[in-house]
């Protein structure tokens, strides 16, 4: 996980209340949610993602695929395509719904960049990864997608940003069991989340549905991401998540998904 915070990050730099000032003092900073899978597949390249990688001592030079959920700036800063073009012409495939691809195109300067416009219900193959786009329940100036990603070692759900599961998600996940579920939990104890996000209550319900559907089992690692200052203090949040069989991790935490299998293939 490169970043695990909401768009404003947690702490929100502008918040004067103890929920954020205590974390500033402790240096517990969550930046915008982004992930790097196997150092080759970058998911949601927000503006902070490249530096998140650098601070984790990880180069992005090996990235060949970029998967983007939606066009909100915490999930996509298309200028990365320009910065990359200054140093490499290695092939890169960028996948996202139409607003994402439209936002990316003007930033390409030569090189070997391929765009794939995807829509909910469609699959795309990226090298060793099979990816299925799922509908997100999120206000995003056009389509927003979630992704089921089946790789050589594990199957992962990229579940941000979204409110309670959109119609069709259950059907599109039929037969899929995840090793790792990365699911947003933006709003903590806020009663009515706005904009298409989950709070602790709806996160719990969403996890319960995944279990009902067989998409999550006892061995599925469920990690709450896109965390904001609307959440209870971290120690309380971790306990609340534990009650649901989930956890949260700090920015820069490596997650080994499908642990047994990936160990065997080493």
Judged by CB under 5 A, which stretch of 52-60, 98-106, 156-164, 216-224 contacts Zn ion? 156-164
Among residues 84 and 197, whose Cβ is nearest to Zn ion?
Answer: 197
Q: How far is the CB of 69 from Zn ion (least distance, A)?
A: 8
Question: What value, to the nearest 5°, has the Cα angle with vertex 132 and ends 41 and 178?
Answer: 80
Among residues 63 and 225, whose Cβ is nearest to Zn ion?
Answer: 225
**Two structure tokens written together for 257:** 């998904």
Name the nearest CA neighbour of 165 among 125, 123, 131, 213.
Answer: 213
- Residue 221 found at the interface with Zn ion (CB under 5 A): no
- Residue 74 found at the interface with Zn ion (CB under 5 A): yes
Q: How far is the CB of 260 from Zn ion (least distance, A)?
A: 32
7, 85, 93, 176: which one contacts Zn ion (CB under 5 A)?
Answer: 7
- Residue 161 found at the interface with Zn ion (CB under 5 A): yes
Among residues 72 and 230, whose Cβ is nearest to Zn ion?
Answer: 72
Among residues 78 and 258, whose Cβ is nearest to Zn ion?
Answer: 78
- For strands 129-135 and 145-150, give the pairing: antiparallel
Distance of CA 154 to the CA centre of its chain: 16
- Residue 72 found at the interface with Zn ion (CB under 5 A): yes
Q: How far is the CB of 176 from Zn ion (least distance, A)?
A: 24
- Residue 48 found at the interface with Zn ion (CB under 5 A): no
Q: What 3-state DSSP class applies to 136? A: coil
How far apart, in Å, are the Cα atoms of 259 and each of 89, 127, 135, 158, 256?
Answer: 34, 21, 28, 18, 6
Any idea which residue has 């990235």 for tokens?
A: 63
Specify the DSSP element, H or E, that contains 17: none
Query: How many other β-carbons are positioned within 10 Å of the β-carbon of residue 115?
Result: 16
- For strands 123-126 and 113-117, give the pairing: unpaired
Among residues 72 and 132, whose Cβ is nearest to Zn ion?
Answer: 72
Which spans of this chain sit near Zn ion (rule: CB under 5 A)?
A: 7, 72, 74, 161
């Amino acid at each position: 996980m490169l970043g695990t915070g909401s768009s404003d990050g947690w702490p929100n730099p502008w918040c004067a209340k103890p929920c954020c000032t205590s974390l500033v003092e402790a240096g517990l900073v969550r930046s915008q949610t982004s992930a790097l899978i196997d150092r080759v597949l970058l998911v949601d390249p927000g503006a902070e993602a490249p530096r998140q990688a650098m601070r984790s001592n990880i180069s992005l030079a090996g990235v060949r695929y970029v998967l983007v959920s939606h066009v909100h700036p915490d999930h996509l800063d298309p200028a990365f395509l320009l910065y990359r073009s200054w140093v490499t012409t290695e092939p890169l495939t960028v996948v996202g719904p139409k607003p994402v691809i439209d936002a990316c195109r003007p930033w390409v300067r030569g090189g070997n960049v391929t765009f794939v416009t995807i829509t909910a219900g469609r699959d795309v193959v990226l090298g060793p990864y099979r990816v299925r786009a799922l509908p997100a329940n999120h206000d995003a100036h056009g389509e927003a997608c979630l992704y089921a990603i089946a790789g050589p070692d594990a199957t992962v759900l990229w579940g941000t940003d979204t409110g309670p599961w959109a119609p069709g998600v259950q059907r599109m996940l039929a037969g899929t069991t995840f090793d790792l579920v990365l699911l947003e939990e933006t709003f903590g104890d806020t009663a009515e989340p706005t904009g298409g996000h989950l709070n602790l209550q709806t996160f719990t319900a969403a996890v319960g549905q995944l279990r009902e559907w067989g998409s999550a089992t006892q061995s599925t690692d469920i990690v709450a991401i896109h965390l904001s200052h609307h959440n209870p203090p971290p120690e309380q949040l971790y306990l609340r998540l534990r009650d649901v069989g989930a956890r949260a991790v700090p920015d820069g935490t490596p997650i080994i998904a499908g642990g047994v299998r990936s160990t065997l293939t080493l």
